[in-house]
Structure 1
Amino acid sequence: MANKIVKGTLILSLAILISRLMGALFWVPFQNIAGDEIVGLYKASFPFYSFLLMIASAGVPLTVSKFVSERISKNDHLNARRVQTAASIILTITGLVIAAILFFGAEFIATTILEVPATKMSLQVLAITIIFVPSMAVIRGYFQGYQNMMPTGISQVIEQFFRVITMIILIYYLVKTGASAEVASAGATSGALFGAIAGLLIVLGYQFRDKREWRKKVQEQPSTEPEPIGGLIKKILIFSLPITLGQLVFPLIQLMDSATVPRILQWMGHSPSEAITLFGIYGRGEPFVNLIQSFSTAISLTLVPAITAYITKKEMDAVGRTISQAWKMTYIMSLPMSLMVTMLASPLNIMMYKDAKGAFPVAVLAFAAIFSTVATASTGILQGMGHNQIPVRNMLIGGVVKVIGNFIYIPIIGIAGSALSMVICYLVICILNMWAVLEKSQAKVKLFRLFFKPTLSGIIMSIGLFFSYYVLEHFVFDAAQLTDRVLNTGISIGLGILGAIIFFLALFLTKALDESEVRLMPMGGRLLPILKRLRLVRG
């Protein structure tokens, strides 16, 4: 089981990393070609789509993975597939209903709720996308229940590839031909539609290929009574509702950001055009945060079926070990990347967006990823244990903190105030989720031992990066050179590599990892003998 968790996490981590990298790198040509106004329209339209997509499908795929895991733990492959059938019926209906609401209500949403009429066409394109995404999500959840993460990983990469390619081609063509900002934004959002269709075709291919193997497993299993589809639909709806409510919180927060941040900026004296442009600049930090969160997303998806299987078999010691490893590995992956983005916010902004306008908001927002990754992993643990309501409550509390923070901090420090309130939001959720995990699992986790040495390694890395950049800024290059995009690309990549080397050297020199934790890392099995000879790893 442990090997399956490691393998599944690595597959999903790699796939999500590639997907998020494509998404992050896409912003470079997108922002350069489109400009901040079109980016602002694009960013304003997506939260409402994400919110409705969550209503259409959010909790069901995760529920499918849990229910499938429970049944295959009892060698019941027949009803594992019936779980998928029941979920598909649910999401086909909800997907069509939600898509119709968004498509025909796009004008009302754009003009009355968002107060950005130019988002109407983008919302209608995204409405069509909702028809395809839920079906893809159900099939992914089915394979995740078997702890086969390959279909999810491959389909995510293909989905993102087609999304990015379509968006770049269309935005280039539309801007070049003089299309309006409204039409150009709609063209960009259509990438999500083409990506969803491509991803769905991939998982359908995996399902078709799996058919023969599944039939063989059903023939070999003990005689089993088929569960009624109606009963499964009811169970899935009951179990998935709290998960759906929980996953609705952050799209709702993004929606509130779209509705409140431009208004607050206008109250401060900015014109509507300036407000939406500043909102687009704030969005520069999201690709970095999404990239960092990719690891916790992968860990969370593998944790739910794994912890469900451990609890089904009453292996509580394994649950405790899994909790410790999940928290530590998530923190070790997110901490250095978040700190690097904060320390290198200026050169990263020039590298990706040609100027450093968004440097301060990006530097602040990067800290949110530290807390959000651990919070996401904790959510997966709680859902695996069957405590779906707890993350919902905690995320709602965090959502309230975020909205209140917008009204407090944006008037004080401008658009970076939205980033600061996001950091506080995730910090609150992280603390509440971790507390709940410890309380419900009764696991004996030594938090100081878990986080102290990685934190120390992060501080050492930050000091090294600070002095390295200070030397480059004051003694190597002049002010004019430091605005050059190619130079800042080299600085960002070079210091990023240096930061990673410093962090992992500090991690091993402080003996922050034991042998089992090293094995969880990419190429950990090959590194372990060398680290043991150098006495840089605990037994």
Structure 2
Amino acid sequence: MSTFLRGTMVLMGAVFLSKLFGFVFRIQFVRIAGEEAVGIYSAAYPAFIFFLSLIQLGLPIAVAKITAELYAGKKHAEIQSLMRKVWKLTWLSIFIFGPLLFFTIPYIATSLLENANISTTLYIGLFTIPIAAFGGILKGYFQGLAKVEETAWSQLIEQFFRIALITWLLPYVVNQSSPGATAAAAMSLALLAELASFLYLWYKYKRVKQTTEKVVTYPTTPILEVALPSAGSRLFGSFTWFLEPIVFIKALAVAGVTAVAATNLYGMISAVYIPLLLFPAFIPYALSIVLVPAVSDARARSNRAMLQERVSLAMRVSAITGCFAATIFYLHGEHIVRVLFHVTEGKGYMQLLAPVFFFYYIQSPLHAILQAMHEAKAAMMNSIYGGLGKLFVMFVLASQAGIEEKGAILAIGFGVCLTSFLHMATLRQKKEAGIGFTFFAIPYLLFIIVTILRPVIWPLAEMPWVADSFVTGLMIFAGLIVFGQIRLTDIRLLRKLIKKT
């Protein structure tokens, strides 16, 4: 258990820095590029992620899971054979899907997103995908070996280069008369950052790779049995995200909003509000990365007690994270947005998003546990239902005059809640996991209590946002101790792990 926790803490710290760098990148990008260029980049980015998911075919998850199982059995020759097979499958996917995606970009930009300026950004994003795909394979390999430091450092390197390039190079190429060119330049800088991350991973891979004289051929079928269901889940999730700006723009057009105005509005929501809400997700994200090999390892050893201990700890930490994040963003989110991004529009968005994003913070660990317990297909179907529900509700509400973008925000929250509860229902059926619905009940109840009492005890916005948020955080922390969600044993364990690090 100590190894699991130490690995999680190392990765958590690195992902925190990565998220912090990414957050700084967002601030710099919004301030330097301008609202319209940010809107174009934000509308193109979901398509880029969908392209990447299509080409990856879920292979990084398969590599992490299978490598963890083979490493537990000390089957080093099989691991190297697995990697050789996965390299070939990735190249095959690039050659099949790459040209197809290349020729669909004009249609996506002009007909679906209704903005021809997006096409150049998408072309550059397509050339970034092979680098990102191979980098994902290497990350899966290191995750399977429980070498979280390599994955963490690669993320830090990528974000560092993104911030440096955006800060020092983008101002020289910003074209206020051509927001499309500015967005394309930003995507080009993202390509360079992705390349720097990949080169680091490749260097570490060459040093870590164990060569054996034994020659084996790892079969393709077991790889695809893990990869394809995982690919289906991620592919559909990225596909619904790809459809999100399309449905958003089309629905607002029905309500009488122009395509350019809708693109700018979508850019503000997806580049300002959503990233701010996602910032605390570095904790559950780190847990989800470690959980796939950790739970797979516990199942391979038939150690039910270890499995339940890891699952319980991961979900409790994720729920506590959600409690802190949802409460602070509900009470102080609008103030934080004004200070950091200099954005004064969108009043009330945080109050709509924060209560439902509590469930986002528990979603990725739930998904990781299901994958590790051979329930990737169920996780995929849950994501499908959540994605379809989000898009349907988005079009219905956002197309109504007077509701418009707030209806789209409610739809995003609906999709998050639906997927999370379906994941919980699926995992509850796996008796060996020993988890139900109660792990989030007390943290969510505390969120409701603090949001009601905090303005009564101490009026909001009378202090700088950092101090204001700190007071709220202290109230939450005290409540978590009173309700037994943070225990003295947790603090002792944390001190012990820090000394060992």
TM-score, structure 1 as length reference: 0.86
Match of 2:226 in 1: 239
Instruction: Provide structure 1 residue ranges, at least 5 long, that are not aligned to the other structure.
Output: 220-224, 477-489, 528-539
Q: Does 1:470 align with 2:459?
A: yes
Shift of 1:69: 1.0
- Matches of 1:147 and 1:123 in 2, distance apart? 34
Residue number among 494, 501, 504 corresponding to 2:474 in the alignment: 501
| Count of matched residue positions in the alignment of Structure 1 and Structure 2 | 496
Shift of 1:344: 1.1
Name the aligned partner's letter for residue 412 of structure 2: M
Contact 1:167 1:187 in 2 (8 A): no
Shift of 1:520: 6.2
Shift of 1:505: 2.3
Q: Does 1:192 align with 2:181?
A: no
Match of 1:228 in 2: 217
Shift of 1:76: 1.0
Contact 1:293 1:369 in 2 (8 A): no
Alignment of 1:303-382 (within 5 A): 303-382=291-370
Shift of 1:316: 1.6
- Matches of 2:39 and 2:235 in 1, distance apart? 22
- Matches of 2:98 and 2:457 in 1, distance apart? 51
State the Cα deviation string for residues 213-265 of structure 1 (Å, max 9, x = none).
x34xx58xxxxx64314x2x332123200101101222212211111111111
Q: Secondary structure at the match of 2:362?
A: helix
Contact 1:125 1:189 in 2 (8 A): yes
Shift of 1:70: 1.0
Residue number among 374, 391, 401 corresponding to 1:386 in the alignment: 374
Match of 1:294 in 2: 282
Contact 1:8 1:149 in 2 (8 A): yes
- Matches of 1:525 and 1:469 in 2, distance apart? 36
Q: Secondary structure at the match of 1:115?
A: coil
Q: Does 1:73 align with 2:72?
A: yes
Contact 2:60 2:140 in 1 (8 A): yes
- Matches of 1:258 and 1:520 in 2, distance apart? 45
More RCO (CA 8 Å, sep 6+): 2
- Matches of 1:102 and 1:166 in 2, distance apart? 27
Match of 1:137 in 2: 136
Shift of 1:151: 0.6
- Matches of 1:58 and 1:493 in 2, distance apart? 42
Alignment of 1:415-434 (within 5 A): 415-434=405-424
- Matches of 2:5 and 2:73 in 1, distance apart? 22
Which of 354-363 and 396-405 deviates more? 354-363
User: Per the alignment, do residues 145 and 294 of structure 1 end up closer, same or farther by CA in structure 2, a change over 3 Å counting?
Assistant: same
- Matches of 2:101 and 2:250 in 1, distance apart? 23
User: Per the alignment, do residues 368 and 55 of structure 1 end up closer, same or farther by CA in structure 2, a change over 3 Å counting?
Assistant: farther
Shift of 1:48: 0.8
Name the aligned partner's letter for residue 238 of structure 2: P
User: Per the alignment, do residues 468 and 136 of structure 1 end up closer, same or farther by CA in structure 2, a change over 3 Å counting?
Assistant: farther
Which of 246-255 and 376-385 deviates more? 246-255
User: Per the alignment, do residues 265 and 56 of structure 1 end up closer, same or farther by CA in structure 2, a change over 3 Å counting?
Assistant: same
- Matches of 2:113 and 2:460 in 1, distance apart? 46
Contact 2:25 2:162 in 1 (8 A): no
- Matches of 1:54 and 1:427 in 2, distance apart? 23
Which of 359-368 and 68-77 deviates more? 359-368
Match of 1:438 in 2: 428
State the Cα deviation string for residues 106-132 of structure 1 (Å, max 9, x = none).
323211232221101101110110120
Q: Does 1:95 align with 2:68?
A: no
Residue number among 275, 283, 294 corresponding to 2:262 in the alignment: 275
- Matches of 2:43 and 2:17 in 1, distance apart? 25
Identity across the alignment (%):
23
Match of 2:26 in 1: 27
Name the aligned partner's letter for residue 28 of structure 2: P
Match of 2:204 in 1: 206
User: Per the alignment, do residues 148 and 346 of structure 1 end up closer, same or farther by CA in structure 2, a change over 3 Å counting?
Assistant: same
State the Cα deviation string for residues 340-392 of structure 1 (Å, max 9, x = none).
11211221121122132124223322334321221211111111111110000
Shift of 1:413: 2.4
Match of 1:248 in 2: 235
Contact 1:27 1:352 in 2 (8 A): no
Whichever of the two has the greater Rg, that structure is: 1
User: Per the alignment, do residues 138 and 446 of structure 1 end up closer, same or farther by CA in structure 2, a change over 3 Å counting?
Assistant: closer
Contact 1:300 1:376 in 2 (8 A): yes
- Matches of 1:446 and 1:48 in 2, distance apart? 35
Shift of 1:290: 2.5
State the Cα deviation string for residues 166-219 of structure 1 (Å, max 9, x = none).
2333432222x55511101101112220111011011112112224xx34xx58
State the Cα deviation string for residues 63-94 of structure 1 (Å, max 9, x = none).
11111111111111221222122112211332
Q: Secondary structure at the match of 2:367?
A: helix
Q: Does 1:404 align with 2:392?
A: yes
Q: Secondary structure at the match of 1:513?
A: coil
